[in-house]
Amino acid sequence: MGVVIKVGLFTGLTNAVNANGLFDYFGYTVNMAAVFSSKAKAAIL
């Protein structure tokens, strides 16, 4: 059994907020990448 990796990529504009020295990204582009990632087939390394 290996490590399971699922990746979703989507390009476009996004919003970024710097809170407490860490960036938080949100918006349509981030949501679409999350949807693609959730529907991706897992690959095993």
Q: Give per-residue pLDDT as tens, 21-34.
A: 999 999 999 999 99
Range 6-12 average pLDDT = 90
Whether 10 shows a pLDDT value over 90: the answer reads yes
Which pLDDT belongs to residue 1? Answer: 63
Domain count, the chain: 1
The Cα-based distances of 6 to 11, 19, 38, 43 in angstroms read 17, 27, 8, 7
- AA identity, residue 25: Y
Q: Which residues contact 21 (CB under 8 A, 6 or more apart)?
A: none
Q: What pTM, to 2 d.p., does this model score?
A: 0.70
Provide the domain limits for residue 24. Answer: 4-44
Whether 39 shows a pLDDT value over 60: the answer reads yes
